[in-house]
Amino acid sequence: MKPIVFELFANLERLAGANECRVDAGEETVTVADALAVLAEQRPELAGSLERCACVSGDTIVRRADPLPADRRIALLPPVAGG
């Protein structure tokens, strides 16, 4: 089991009470979608908000079907409201 770190923003950060969330995942966790499933299972209070989040690695949006980023860090960006 190796940790995956999710960076949390806005409402997600408020729900979790922290700006980061670490989950342990095994080798069967290979895609972004797999990682989100692990997060939803381990942190049910976040599960309902994940569908509308974009996932970002560095400064690039990654898709659910993409492989888990090599650094095992994913930023979860809920719907945006700038301006």
Partner 1 sequence: MYEVLSHTAVAVEPLLELDAHPECGGLALFVGTVRDHHEGRQVHHLKYTAHEPLAAKVIRDVEHATRERYGVPYVRIVHRLGDLSIGDVAIACVVRAPHRAEAFDACRYAVDAVKHGAPIWKEEFYADGSSAFVEGCCIRDDLDAPAATPHRHHSHTSHG
DSSP string, 4-29: EEEEE-HHHHHHHTSSEEEEEE-TT-
Instruction: Give the CA count within 13 Å in the CB-facing half-sphere of 83.
Output: 2
- Candidates 5, 11, 24, 67; binder of partner 1 (CB under 8 A) is 11
> Which of 38, 47, 56, 72 touches partner 1 (CB under 8 A)?
56
2 vs 52 by CB, closer to partner 1: 52
User: Of 60, 55, 46, which Cα lies nearest the Cα of 13?
Assistant: 46
Q: Is 40 in the site for partner 1 (CB under 8 A)?
A: no
The residue behind tokens 């989040």 is 53
Q: Does 22 bind partner 1 (CB under 8 A)?
A: no
Which chain residues interact with partner 1 by CB under 8 A? 7, 9-11, 14, 51-56, 58-61, 63-65, 75, 77-83
